[in-house]
């Protein structure tokens, strides 16, 4: 298989097949919802949808999102931006991607999903090629807080961070296609915050944060967020979030940002070796 | 699961309550931003919405509508409904539509119109594009394709067991409103 075909296959699989850990989390969530509730109906529909999309090899969500690639620096020549663009154009023609790339100034559609800056490609010190597809509904719900925040009585400590995260979940309600996943960065500058927060979405839902403080915060926020009762698609229920993944970065004395990348249940991500 | 079959008569629609899971069979029409604006500006709709269903959806459709290349729906999940808030009460009043299908819910004015004229809002599952597309058995036609484009056109879908949950009913109840208020109260206690 050529490198282009390998990347096309990566896009196809990512778009049409939900990650195993996410599917498992939705199945576990289903058991917590009461029989005959709207939450149960919605989670069942999500699972049936994922099975159908996988079988038929069609996009599991029509918003195939922003394509962000993380490529091992050592593969820079083999998996160049040009190769990725070729693959994205082929994947679009084959119906694995929606025509989803609009020029922000002219409003014109780039019908092959390729132009300067799309797909997004980062070269990093991490093995293989990773793709994450994040739709607009969830991206619109990502947000950044600056501590202290007087409206939340949130100070510059972990309690303050916790308040921001719970506030974000409550404000999002069902608009980000709950149950969702929070990728979080504590600290950093504004741009680093969003970058690191999004990278947290690449973590397996079942992994354990090696930092004990952050691991405890992840567990606490997950359980408290689920007790808000927002539920799948915001219609009420026991499952509002499937996971919370937190990292931290240093900050300058004057700033303290808390950045949240909100991901919908259709958390499409995959890594391959090339 | 409550089965709803087109035409959706007022009595049946008024008997629905928030939280009811429904399976819709029969004709539904898609319409989103451009259609609502067009109607609000006095444009004439080519189809009759009386006792019918309006689906906030911008589908992905391939084919040309000919015998050799019929329209096939590839993905047809709901789009966010709040953008139609300014137009929907008037749309309900003038067309007599009974089911509004979308995601995210709509505002108090729309809820009031639903109570007054006998209509409900049905939440489809956001993101579940494959299963929604599979429920569309036939594309029976399309209106305003040239003016609005494929994603905004008024598509005529014949569906079988298209699933959703009643999230706003004709008794003034809205699950979205309830969840928003109760979750905010819980949050305030927590922080």
Tell me what pLDDT residue B64 has. Answer: 87
Tell me what pLDDT residue A74 has. Answer: 98
Tell me what pLDDT residue A184 has. Answer: 99
B165: which chain A residues are within 8 Å (Cβ-Cβ)?
38, 41-42, 233, 235
Q: In what order do the strands lie in the sheet with A66-72?
A: A120-124, A66-72, A129-134, A268-272
Question: Mutate which of B151, B189, B191 to disrupt the A interface (most A C-beta within 10 Å)?
Answer: B191
CB A242 within 8 A of CB A205: yes
pLDDT digits (tens, 9 = 90+) for A150-178: 999 999 999 999 999 999 999 999 999 99
Question: Which of the 8 DSSP states describes residue A154?
Answer: B
Tell me what pLDDT residue A62 has. Answer: 86
The one-digit pLDDT tens for each residue of chain B (191 residues) are 899 999 999 999 999 999 999 999 999 999 999 999 999 999 999 999 999 999 999 887 888 899 999 998 888 888 889 999 999 999 999 999 999 999 999 999 999 999 999 999 999 988 888 898 899 999 999 999 988 988 899 999 999 999 999 999 999 999 999 999 999 999 999 99
CB nearest A166 (choices: B77, B129, B191): B191
* Residue A260 three-state SS: strand
CA-to-CA distance for A84 and A115, rounded, in angstroms? 11
- From first CA to last CA, the distance across chain A in angstroms is 10
Tell me what pLDDT residue A238 has. Answer: 97
CB A178 within 8 A of CB A230: yes
What residues 77-106 of chain A have any CB closer than 8 A to a CB of chain B? 95, 98
Tell me what pLDDT residue B126 has. Answer: 86
What residues 19-78 of chain A have any CB closer than 8 A to a CB of chain B? 36-38, 41-42, 45-46, 48-49, 52-53, 56, 58-63
CB A92 within 8 A of CB A112: yes
CB B191 within 8 A of CB A153: yes
Shortest Cα distance from B179 to chain A (angstroms)? 6
Say what the alpha-carbon torsion angle A224, A225, A229, A234 is, to the nearest 10 degrees. 180
* Closest to B157 measured CA to CA, from B62, B76, B42, B44: B76
Tell me what pLDDT residue A239 has. Answer: 97
The torsion angles phi and psi of B23, rounded to 5 degrees, stand at: -125, 120
* Closest to B128 measured CA to CA, from A44, A142, A134: A44
Q: Is the Cα dihedral A222, A181, A49, A128 positive or negative?
A: negative
Tell me what pLDDT residue B13 has. Answer: 98
Please indicate if any CB of chain B lies within 8 Å of the CB of A154. Answer: yes
Contacts of A245 (CB under 8 A, 6+ apart): A181, A182, A183, A184, A200, A201, A203, A209, A218
* Closest to A71 measured CA to CA, from A127, A133, A116, A115: A127
pTM of the shown model? 0.92
Report the greatest alpha carbon distance in chain A: 57
Report the 10 Å Cβ neighbour count for A47: 18
Give catalytic status of residue B36 as yes or no.
yes
* Closest to B79 measured CA to CA, from B20, B149, B118, B31: B31
Segments in chain A below pLDDT 50: none
* Closest to B159 measured CA to CA, from B137, B130, B178, B185: B137
Query: Helices A38-56 & A3-16, crossing angle to 10 degrees?
Result: 160
Tell me what pLDDT residue B20 has. Answer: 94
- Contact call for B127 and A45, based on CB within 8 A: no
* Residue A259 three-state SS: strand
Please indicate if any CB of chain B lies within 8 Å of the CB of A235. Answer: yes
Angle made by CA atoms A215, A216, A219, in degrees to the nearest 5: 90
CA distance to B28, B46, B139, per residue, from B64 (Å) = 20, 20, 11
Tell me what pLDDT residue B76 has. Answer: 86
Reported as half-sphere exposure (CB side, CA atoms, 13 A), residue B96 has a value of 9
Which chain A residue shows the shortest CA-CA distance from B189?
A228
Long-range own/partner contacts, residues B178-186 (CB < 8 A, 24 or more apart): B178/A236, B178/B18, B179/A173, B179/A174, B179/A229, B179/A230, B179/A231, B179/A234, B179/A235, B179/A236, B180/A173, B182/A229, B183/A170, B183/A173, B183/A228, B183/A229, B183/A230, B184/A170, B186/A227, B186/A228, B186/A229
Phi-psi region of B41 (alpha: psi -120 to 50; beta: other; left: phi over 0): alpha
CA-to-CA distance for B176 and B104, rounded, in angstroms? 8
- Contact call for A137 and B126, based on CB within 8 A: yes
Question: Mutate which of B34, B61, B73, B130 to disrupt the A interface (most A C-beta within 10 Å)?
Answer: B130
């Amino acid at each position: 298989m050529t490198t282009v075909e390998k990347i096309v296959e990566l896009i196809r699989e990512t778009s049409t097949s939900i990650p195993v850990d996410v599917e498992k989390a939705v199945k576990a969530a289903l058991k917590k919802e009461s029989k005959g509730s709207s939450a149960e109906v919605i989670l069942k529909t999500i699972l049936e949808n994922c099975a159908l999309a996988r079988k038929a090899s069609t996009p599991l969500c029509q918003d195939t999102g922003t394509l962000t690639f993380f490529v091992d620096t050592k593969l820079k020549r083999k998996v160049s931006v040009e190769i990725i663009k070729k693959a994205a154009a082929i994947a679009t023609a084959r119906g694995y991607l929606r025509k989803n790339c609009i020029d922000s100034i002219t409003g014109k559609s780039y019908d092959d999903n390729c132009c300067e800056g799309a797909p997004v490609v980062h070269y990093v010190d991490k093995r293989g090629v990773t793709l994450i597809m994040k739709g607009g509904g969830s991206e619109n719900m990502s947000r950044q807080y600056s501590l202290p925040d007087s409206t939340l009585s949130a100070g510059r400590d972990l309690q303050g961070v916790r308040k921001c995260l719970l506030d974000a979940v409550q404000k999002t309600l069902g608009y980000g296609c709950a149950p969702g996943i929070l990728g979080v960065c504590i600290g950093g500058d504004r741009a680093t915050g969003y970058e690191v927060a999004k990278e947290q979405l690449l973590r397996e839902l079942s992994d354990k944060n090696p930092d004990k403080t952050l691991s405890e915060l992840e567990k606490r926020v997950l359980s408290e967020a689920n007790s808000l009762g927002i539920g799948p698609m915001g219609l009420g229920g026991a499952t509002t979030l499937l996971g919370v993944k937190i990292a931290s970065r240093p900050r300058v004395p004057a700033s303290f940002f808390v950045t949240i990348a909100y991901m919908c249940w259709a958390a499409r991500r995959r890594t391959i070796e090339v | 699961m409550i089965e709803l079959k087109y035409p959706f008569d007022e009595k049946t629609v008024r008997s629905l309550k928030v939280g009811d899971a429904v399976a819709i069979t029969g004709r539904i029409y898609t319409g989103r931003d451009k259609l609502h604006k067009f109607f609000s500006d006095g444009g004439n709709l080519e189809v009759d919405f009386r006792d019918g269903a309006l689906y906030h959806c911008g589908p992905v459709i391939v084919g040309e509508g000919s015998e050799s290349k019929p329209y096939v729906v590839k993905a047809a999940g709901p789009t966010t409904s709040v953008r139609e808030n300014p137009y929907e009460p008037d749309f309900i009043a003038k067309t007599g539509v009974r089911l509004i299908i979308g995601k995210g819910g709509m505002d108090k004015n729309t809820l009031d119109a639903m109570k007054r004229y006998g209509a409900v809002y049905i939440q489809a599952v956001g993101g579940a594009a494959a299963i929604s597309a599979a429920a569309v058995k036939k594309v029976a036609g399309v209106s305003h394709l040239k003016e609005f484009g494929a994603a905004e056109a008024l598509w005529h879908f014949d569906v079988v067991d298209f699933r959703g949950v009643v999230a706003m009913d004709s008794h003034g109840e809205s699950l979205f409103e309830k969840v928003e208020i109760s979750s905010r109260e819980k949050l305030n206690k927590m922080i």
